[in-house]
Amino acid sequence: MGNEKSALNGLKIDEKPVEITDFWTHYMACVNGYNAQRISVFVSEPSLHYNANFGNPSPLEKAAKNLMLYRHPCILKYVSSWSKGSKFFLATEQVKPLIQSIETQNTLQICMGLYSILRALVFLHEKAFVSHNNLCESSIYVTPEGCWKLGGLECLCKFNDLTSSYLQKIKSYRCEKAISINEDATITLTNFTTIDVYAFGVLAEDILRQKDPDDVPSLSEFKQFCKENLQNPDPSLRCELSHVLQHPFFTHDFMRIYAFLNELVLKSNKEKEIFFGTLITQLRMFPENIVAEQLGRLLLSRMVLLDTTAQEQLLPFILKPKDGNDNTDSNLFSISTFKVYLVPKLLQMFCIRDVSIRLVLLSYFNSFVHIFQVDELKSQVLPELLVGIKDTNDHLVSATLKALADIVPILGAATVIGGNRGKLFTDGRPNKLKDNKKTKNSINAEFVIPTDSIQKVIDLPERPSPDGGEDKKEITSSITEEEYTWSDWDIQETADMHARISQSSDAIFQSQSNSNDISISDSTLRITTDAVLNIDKNKTSELKLTKKSAGIISDISELDIKNSKLIDTCKEEYDYFTDMEPVIKKTQILHIQQPQILSKSVFDIKALNGLETSEENNGWEEDLSDWGTEDVHEIKT
């Protein structure tokens, strides 16, 4: 029927009807907007036939008026009604006729459905003082969750208006099988409820006729009760429907749990504490798929989620699926059952912007987030969570941010916080340097001194000590300790190193001019000088990059989980720990203290410490007598 102007904005009615009756045509429809929902729309055309007999208003208009007036959880929920031209529209919650789904209903579902219809009739009789007058399969509808709802209120009237003339007027529009042969006797006895009692007995017997008596406790007894009592020809022998609720067919363990959850709002706090304290133990007695299918909606109802006792003793076992270890896992539902029956309900609950409900869901979010499909998380859950981080409730914002962190491994950070990101942190672990050794070889080549040149400095001929006065192990140990000393990355450190190496280079030149035995090549000296220059250049560029990088985020208040903008950084990642690389250790080998080891073959160890002492020539060759003490002062550091 397309988009038509109606009392509901954004209403779109399906082209294909669900059912067609003498009074109306039933369609499915969708109301667009926030949290778009499916509804049922009944459309009636003006008919001279039923207007002449039924009178005004029309059957659909009267049904709409009664649905709007008599509200009950087990009665079809009224949404809106309006007229357009000659047509009348009634919008209700999404339902389909029981006739279309009765074949797929198991015995337990029928038991629960009949219980709901009984509750609706008891409400009409004892609270509203009205009679339904047309109870049959065509007046019952089923919601997507499987709940039975009483409809067909077009024949409803108050007890005071229930007369023989009224019953005769609407007789052609009622289910003929549900009319007692001595209905007029009911009016004379002023026992107005017996009309619906008889109709309920006929309905229950027809629906349960083909069901196995072993499916539900006391099923056989209930069938006999419907035949002998509820359909008794004598209206005075039929019991009240409120008494039918006490039959064993409606009071076994599973139905008792179902009834308590349905009537939770009417229970006292003491009754709730006792009930929820033992509920999880009772639920484990039934197959989990039956519990999830039949009770899942009630276990996740608002009244249960907000009950203190239920939050402590029930929800931890409901909202946490089993981890696969059935022997030790005390949770109620397996992952497969949770996914089929509970996930659809949870998706609907995330659309409810109630802080108490949202906080309960978020407290268990990390237990069931992995069960959602990726598209469900992305299109339904994530948008609602992002609304939560903008709320003024700090507790809600904190819980929402934790939930977003649980989604990141599934959807990725780009989906959760946006794609405008950059790599602002580097990995400064020493092991990272080893992993990148191959990629840094070309950069470190200019700092590495050829091995043969180092050997020329270190492996100088050692003077044999005639008296054993020098302790070779002690000197080597001190040099090794200095070689592997870890320096802080300070600019002054580089300057000091530069000064020491420059001073040491002068000493090497002086030593080389006075000896034919010690030889240091020009290539070694050039490498030493280049290494110092490269270290200074590297330190200067590092300082500039460090200051520049520090200004990327000038104000922490500029951060936003969805709208933060990153300033362009260096295209190539800079390693701020370059001076921590082993390359610096190799450069320190050039420390001029290395020649101190060589000098011990010519001078006494005290001369290396800067002390003016006389040199004993015992055991020295004559060709070394021309070495002067001024050379000692040139080499010391």
Question: CB of 275 within 8 A of CB of 260?
Answer: yes
pLDDT for res 621: 47
The CA distance from 315 to 215, in Å, is 29
The CA distance from 115 to 108, in Å, is 11
Question: CB of 185 within 8 A of CB of 238?
Answer: no
Residue 264 token pair: 């939770």
Query: Up-side HSE of residue 398: CA atoms within 13 Å toward CB?
Result: 4
The CA distance from 17 to 532, in Å, is 88
The CA distance from 531 to 500, in Å, is 13
Residue 187 CB neighbour total at 10 angstroms: 18
Question: CB of 31 within 8 A of CB of 8?
Answer: yes
The CA distance from 151 to 120, in Å, is 10
The CA distance from 478 to 463, in Å, is 19
Over the stretch 17-59, which tens digit does the pLDDT of each residue have? Answer: 999 998 899 999 998 765 668 999 999 977 544 555 556 788 9
Question: CB of 234 within 8 A of CB of 273?
Answer: no
Report CA-CA distances (Å) from 257 to 55, 144, 272, 460: 45, 21, 12, 95
**Per-residue DSSP letter, 267:** S
The CA distance from 341 to 296, in Å, is 7
User: Looking at the chain, how many residues does it have?
Assistant: 637
Question: CB of 131 within 8 A of CB of 156?
Answer: yes
- Give the 3-state secondary structure of residue 636: coil
Residue 524 CB neighbour total at 10 angstroms: 19
CATH class as words, domain 98-245: mainly alpha
pLDDT for res 623: 47
pLDDT for res 430: 79
SS3 content of the chain, % helix, strand, coil (to 5): 55, 10, 35
Q: Which amino acid is at 331?
A: N
Q: In the chain, which residues have pLDDT < 70?
A: 1-7, 33-36, 47-55, 185-190, 324-329, 432-637
The CA distance from 534 to 538, in Å, is 6
Report CA-CA distances (Å) from 383 to 34, 236, 399, 411, 415: 12, 60, 15, 13, 11
The CA distance from 561 to 413, in Å, is 10
The b-or-e profile of 29-40 (16+ CB within 10 A means b, else e) is bebeeeeeeebb
Question: CB of 398 within 8 A of CB of 364?
Answer: no
Rounded to 5°, angle at Cα 518 from 516 and 524? 125
Q: If you write DSSP's letter for every residue of 213-239 in order, what string do you get? A: TTSSTTHHHHHHHIIIIIT-SSGGGSP
Q: If you write DSSP's letter for every residue of 330-394 in order, what string do you get? A: --S--HHHIIIIIHHHHHHHTT---HHHHHHHHHTHHHHGGGS-HHHIIIIIHHHHHHHTTSS-H
Question: CB of 330 within 8 A of CB of 380?
Answer: no
- Give the 3-state secondary structure of residue 441: helix
The CA distance from 283 to 257, in Å, is 9
Question: Residue 42 contacts by C-beta under 8 Å, 6 or more apart in sequence?
Answer: 24, 25, 26, 27, 60, 63, 89, 90, 91, 92
Question: What are the structural domain ranges in the chain?
Answer: 11-95, 98-245, 255-417
CATH class as words, domain 11-95: alpha beta
